[in-house]
Amino acid sequence: LWESEAAMRDGLTLGASVADVVLPSFDEETLLFGDATPEATAERYRAGGARIVAVKNGAEDLTLWDDAGGLRRVPAEKVAEVVDTTAAGDSFAAGFLAGLAQGHGPDAAATEAMALAAGVIQERGALVRGLFDGDAI
């Protein structure tokens, strides 16, 4: 897909510069950009023009930035047992964007997204029964 890591970094940076919402994963940002903290990742994308940045960090708290609330942490949804992380990031993105589209603020959208992702990782595979009811998240 990319001719080099430098080309990948340039492509991601360019794409993020025209995005309103950026949902990076901290572990990937550390590998590609050398970010030392999720806050550094959020700041880099904020400086690049993003209006909302939600830095995912596995089971750790989410680092969230937007103009209205500044930089903050949103507590992670804790689960008893992780069965399969397939589609965890995609389900987070879907939940977050759905929350924003429904008029929820970034904090509420993040909480809803983490609840959806938490449900997904407690099941096997990417298609999880019972998680398609918007009232459940």
Known catalytic residues are: 90
Q: 5: Cβ–Cβ under 8 A, 6 or more apart, which residues? A: 32
Answer whether 45's CB lies under 8 Å from 53's CB. Answer: yes
Amino acid at site 136: A
- String of b and e for 67-84 (b: at least 16 CB within 10 Å)? eeeeebebebbeeeeeee
- List Cα–Cα distances, 107 to 9, 63, 121, 125, 127, in angstroms: 28, 10, 21, 27, 26
